[in-house]
C-alpha cells in the first residue's frame, strides 16, 4: 500500500470513518504529529499516531477497524505513546484536551508536554521544529516544559532499555539553547 501524507482534513476523515466502523465506546488519543495537525502547529505528517483505551472484549474489532479505515484512506496508522520511551509527567490525564466524539469514540489530544518531551528525547530535526512551533503557537510553555523535564529525568535511567538519559539531557539542553538564540532581543514588553 502506498500511503499519502496526512493533513488535517484527512485525519478528521479517518476519525469519522473509524467512528462509523467501530460501534462501541472507547477513548482514542492522538499523539505526535497527528495531534499537532489539529492545533495548527503542523500542516502534514507521514502517519497517524494514536494510543487507545478499548474494552478487552472489543479490542480485536477496534484493531480491524483501524486497519480497514487506514487501508481505505491509504494512510499509515501506528500505535505510539511517549511512555514507551520515558516516564510521563504527573497530571498528564488532566492536561489531555478533548478533540471530539466520533461515533462512540471520545478522541483526545495526548498531553502536549509528554509529546514534546518525547520528541526532544528522539531529537531529530523535525522533532525540534515541532516543539519549537508548539511553543511559538502557545500550545506549551517553555518553562513548564523544563519543569516537566526536571520531574521525569531522575526516573529515566530505570524506565526501560530504550531510554537514553544522557542523549535526552543533551537534546533538551541543545533545544533550550536554540530557543534562546531564536528569541529576538528586546522581546520582553516594558
- Rounded Cα gap, residues 164 and 62, in angstroms: 33
Q: What is the pTM of this model?
A: 0.90
pLDDT of residue 190: 36
* Residue 10 predicted with pLDDT over 80: yes
Burial environment of residue 66 by CB neighbours within 10 A (0 to 12, 13 to 18, 19 or more)? buried
Residue 39 maps to a domain: yes
Element (H, E) at 13: helix 8-21
Calculate mean pLDDT across residues 67-84.
94
Compute CA distances 140 → 104, 125, 147, whole Å. Answer: 29, 19, 12
Calculate mean pLDDT across residues 156-173.
90
pLDDT of residue 88: 94
Residue 53 maps to a domain: yes
Residue 189 maps to a domain: no
- Rounded Cα gap, residues 168 and 149, in angstroms: 10
Helix (H, G, I), strand (E, B) or coil at 102: strand
- Expressed as residue numbers, the domain containing 136 is 114-182
* Residue 189 predicted with pLDDT over 50: no
Number of domains in the chain: 2
- Rounded Cα gap, residues 100 and 87, in angstroms: 27
CATH number at residue 56: 3.30.460
Which of residues 80, 111, 142 is at a domain's end?
Answer: 111
The cell for 57 is 472484549
Looking at the fold, whether 12 and 66 belong to one and the same domain comes out as yes
Looking at the fold, whether 56 and 45 belong to one and the same domain comes out as yes
Amino acid at each position: 500500500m502506498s500511503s499519502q501524507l496526512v493533513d488535517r482534513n484527512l485525519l478528521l476523515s479517518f476519525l469519522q470513518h473509524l467512528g462509523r466502523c467501530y460501534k462501541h465506546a472507547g477513548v482514542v488519543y492522538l499523539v505526535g504529529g497527528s495531534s499537532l495537525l489539529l492545533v495548527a502547529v503542523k500542516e502534514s505528517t507521514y502517519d497517524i499516531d494514536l494510543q487507545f483505551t478499548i474494552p478487552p472484549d472489543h479490542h480485536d474489532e477496534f484493531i480491524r477497524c483501524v486497519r480497514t479505515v487506514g487501508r481505505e484512506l491509504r494512510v499509515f496508522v501506528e500505535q505510539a505513546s511517549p511512555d514507551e520511551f520515558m516516564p510521563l509527567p504527573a497530571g498528564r490525564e488532566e492536561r489531555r484536551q478533548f478533540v471530539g466524539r466520533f461515533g462512540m469514540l471520545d478522541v483526545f489530544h495526548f498531553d502536549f508536554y509528554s509529546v514534546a518531551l518525547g520528541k526532544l528525547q528522539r531529537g531529530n530535526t523535525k522533532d525540534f521544529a515541532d516543539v519549537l512551533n508548539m511553543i511559538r503557537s502557545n500550545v506549551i510553555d517553555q518553562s513548564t516544559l523544563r519543569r516537566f523535564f526536571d520531574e521525569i529525568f531522575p526516573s529515566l535511567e530505570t524506565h526501560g532499555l530504550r531510554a537514553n538519559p544522557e542523549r535526552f539531557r543533551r537534546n533538551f539542553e541543545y533545544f533550550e539553547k536554540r530557543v534562546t538564540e531564536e528569541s529576538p532581543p528586546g522581546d520582553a514588553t516594558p
